[in-house]
Structure 1
Amino acid sequence: MIALILFIFLSALTIISFKISNGSILAPASAFCLSFALSVLNGLTNYNKWDFELHAITFSLIGGSAVIFCISCFIFNLLYSKSNYKFSQNSINLKPFFIPNYIYIIFLVLQLVSTYLSLKSIKTLGTIHGSDGTLSGSIFAYRTASLYSSSFTGLPGYVTFLSNLCSALGYICIYNAMTFYFQNKKINFFASISSFIAIIAPLVYGGRGASLLFIFFIFTIFLVRYESYSRLHNSYRILPIFGFLALVFIIAYIFYISLSIMGRSSGSFDFYYYLSIYLGAPIKNLDIYLSSGIIQPSFDCVETCSSDVYTSLNGISSASQSFRFTEFQNYNGFDLGNAYTIFHSFIHDFGFLGCILLIVSMALISQYFYIKTSNIQSSPYNVIYLYIYSMIFYSLCISFFSNQFYKTLFSTIVLKYILIWFCFGFAYRYFSFNKTRNLAYIF
């Protein structure tokens, strides 16, 4: 009964957030509430398997946090709109950057070289850590060693740098590919090919997080354009949203069948139950965690900010963080995985009061970047807000699964991306506006 009430409450909060945000699915409050509503709904569909009846403390934590998150977003939005006379939510006309085709070709070669060097290094490391010699076995051994082995050394520095460079530039290619299509109703072949490689290349590391970030960037651009068009014409077309949801389902299934390529397995689970381990099971795991007894926060920030920045500042090697991994749960013989929602990390590190403060902070940061994205102009510097908000949007949408917000934003990888984006912006503006030089001739 409590689980059903929680679903109804979150659904109502999603609708309210959607209305207050001028019909924006992309708004932080809408994304946060909707993601948890869908997670609880999935849990209800597995009611008999998991005995999905939540405790009052779980209802209070999830429902209360959603209310706090929404209120924080709305207050910030109100204060910002009053203090900034430039604030508006008018239509946005995103335009592609002018990049000659042979620059795309050079970047395409760079991507292929980066992928080759990554695979070569992964195969070498995989052999050291017990790979069976196959490519999928090497990827699996590499990923396992990177997560659990204290002797893991990581990829060579130049391979990591090249990979980060290609990932950062991949955002620019995706932006150009999509905005070129929206503007001209034509496909930019080279930008699209580079975008596709940018999305699939991170899979060689055995994880799907980096690829999902790119996919959510595509979703973000789509929603920015959709919502801008809808506000401009004062009409909301349903067909694009159904197409969007269908694409989400297709991508989820592709990720399901891609496990074998990365040396991983879905076990004996069918597609829906495998999806449920990621969707509804984290709510059940959180309920088990909260009802297990008195929780003593560690105040070590390990789960909240377990990024490479945190480990560097605290002298912890990235290979010795096995203590971060939560326990796998099993209920009545049904696997529940080891995901516990974003709240587990906050409460584990800072308790319930700290969880409230972290939720408020997350809401304020999210709303700030959302506002910047909602008023974005097509300049290489301003588009950085769009890049960053796509990461935030991704983090909010999977908050029911894990804590990626602080881990993603406060990492050296994202800092390197921002530096690369600024360097691109500087070069683009200099060569575009210098009277004696032109981007087409320089590149």
Structure 2
Amino acid sequence: MFCAMYIISLGFAAINYNSWGLNDYSSLTFSIVFGGAIIFILIEFICKFVIYHFRFRRVINKIKHKRVNKIVLNKYVTIFIIVLNLFTIILWYKALKNSGLGFSSFSDMMQNYRATTSYSLDSQDIIPGYLQQLAKLLTVCGYFYSFALFFNLANKTIKKADYYLCIPNIVIYIIYSILDSNRLNLLGLVGAFVIYYFAIKNVSQQHSNSVKSLFKLIVSFVIVLFVFYGIRLIVGRTGSEDTDFISYISMYVGAPVKLLDMFIKQPVSDFTVWGKETFVSINSLLRKMGFDIPKYLMHKEFRIYNGISLGNVYSAYRSWYSDFGLIGVFSLQSIFSIFYTCYYYILKKKGILNHQFAFLLYGYFSLALFLHPIEDWFYSMFVSVGTLTFIIIFAIIYKIAIKDEIYIGEKND
């Protein structure tokens, strides 16, 4: 997925090769992008070799004979969760309406909300703290019920009840993402869809049609791009009202290629705070613990090239280079690569279908893989105490929402 997303990003950038002046792309920026890809591929090869040849071999031989084929959901727990999540969504919407931001339409409300939460240090009072905590349950349920749905779908053990129980929670999470003016949540969820479905399908079916799977993946991605473009005005991106589909998507997906180069040539770095852009969550925690770390905005500067607004998404490399230089980029990329490749290959060798909880979490953490060409989520979001909270909520929901697991050869009564 990492390489695929960068290929897509580079492809959209190539469409604007002349208008964005990519002919003067710096060798340093090229070294960072190309070097990051080489690091990821090399580490993947090494981790795969080590895991396949030196570890877990005995464990692997013991688990091949039995695997889970269907997840049976607890309908009563799930119905309660749906009601609770709907209640949270209603309260969230009321909090937005009563925020005093001023609006004449839903789109205006979301634009004002986005402007306040993104570009103000005093935005924490718009949404009450208890709602922000309940929103974590919305996120967990969005991923958990996506996992349960695609697990059964890929194994061809899906029933109508699975759709009725899973889809409401997925839709609620999508609505929450819109009300939070955060479309990256939707991209992350789609990335999890892809991982859950195709990984399970490839494991559960010995003779999978890779060409057909690739076609489905491409079609799904195109649909997501159209949805991403279509809801831009709803979530407050009113400045792009007259922008056509190709221009808008190429700017959002491909512009980081140019913006990273512009930053390398004209850096805007602030070394007054250690790891300011990379370790946002860690710095927030240290601030709460009493360390003298000032509050600061996470959002980066907007840039224009030849009168063309390119936005402010620079890829994950921008934050790492800004805080730690070239050595930091390659070091952080190495740690990033080790985490994801070791996680995946250990999970694969121990049996994805027999370690559903670990695979569920992998789909959630894959957000950082999916968004790497846009921005860093691994160090800024996932390296935090908040991630431990999410893991605990995932564990609780996984425990109470699953009624049973049916193994191959067993019947679902």
TM-score normalised by L of structure 2: 0.85
The within-5 A match list for 1:36-435 is 36-53=6-23, 54-81=25-52, 82-85=54-57, 86-87=59-60, 95-125=69-99, 127=100, 130-154=101-125, 155-182=127-154, 183-187=156-160, 188=162, 189-229=164-204, 232-233=206-207, 236-265=209-238, 266-292=240-266, 300-307=274-281, 309-315=282-288, 320-322=295-297, 324-374=298-348, 375-378=350-353, 382-427=355-400
Whose RCO is larger (CA < 8 A, sep 6+)?
2
Q: Which moved more, 1:94-103 or 1:351-360?
A: 94-103
CA offset at residue 173 of structure 1?
Answer: 1.7
CA offset at residue 377 of structure 1?
Answer: 4.8
Taking only aligned residues, the RMSD between alpha carbons, in angstroms, comes to 3.0
Structure 1 residues 139, 318: closer, same or farther in 2, change over 3 A?
Answer: farther
For 2:93, the aligned partner's letter is: L
For 1:80, the aligned partner's letter is: I
Q: For residues 11 and 358 of structure 2, what CA distance do their matches in structure 1 show?
A: 32
Q: Match of 2:210, SS?
A: coil
Aligned residue pair count: 393
CA offset at residue 180 of structure 1?
Answer: 2.8
Please tell me whether the aligned partners of residues 372 and 385 of structure 1 are also in contact (alpha carbons under 8 angstroms): no
In structure 2, list runs of 5 or more residues that go unmatched.
Answer: 406-413
CA offset at residue 403 of structure 1?
Answer: 1.1
Q: Match of 1:98, SS?
A: strand
CA offset at residue 148 of structure 1?
Answer: 1.8
Aligned to 2:411: none
Q: For residues 319 and 158 of structure 1, what CA distance do their matches in structure 2 show?
A: 25
For 1:70, the aligned partner's letter is: I
Percent of aligned positions that are identical: 23
Structure 1 residues 112, 319: closer, same or farther in 2, change over 3 A?
Answer: farther
CA offset at residue 250 of structure 1?
Answer: 0.9
- 1:292-318 Cα shifts (integer Å, max 9, x gaps): 3798966711111212x4312134999
Please tell me whether the aligned partners of residues 173 and 195 of structure 1 are also in contact (alpha carbons under 8 angstroms): yes
For 1:253, the aligned partner's letter is: F
Structure 1 residues 167, 64: closer, same or farther in 2, change over 3 A?
Answer: closer
Q: For residues 248 and 185 of structure 1, what CA distance do their matches in structure 2 show?
A: 23
Q: For residues 113 and 427 of structure 1, what CA distance do their matches in structure 2 show?
A: 20
Q: For residues 227 and 192 of structure 2, what CA distance do their matches in structure 1 show?
A: 18
For 1:162, the aligned partner's letter is: L
For 2:114, the aligned partner's letter is: R
Q: For residues 432 and 253 of structure 1, what CA distance do their matches in structure 2 show?
A: 37
CA offset at residue 197 of structure 1?
Answer: 2.1
Please tell me whether the aligned partners of residues 384 and 418 of structure 1 are also in contact (alpha carbons under 8 angstroms): no
Please tell me whether the aligned partners of residues 269 and 323 of structure 2 are also in contact (alpha carbons under 8 angstroms): no
Please tell me whether the aligned partners of residues 300 and 312 of structure 2 are also in contact (alpha carbons under 8 angstroms): yes
TM-score normalised by L of structure 1: 0.80
- 1:159-197 Cα shifts (integer Å, max 9, x gaps): 122221232133222222222333325442222222222
For 1:33, the aligned partner's letter is: C
Q: For residues 84 and 349 of structure 1, what CA distance do their matches in structure 2 show?
A: 38
In structure 1, list runs of 5 or more residues that go unmatched.
Answer: 1-30, 434-443
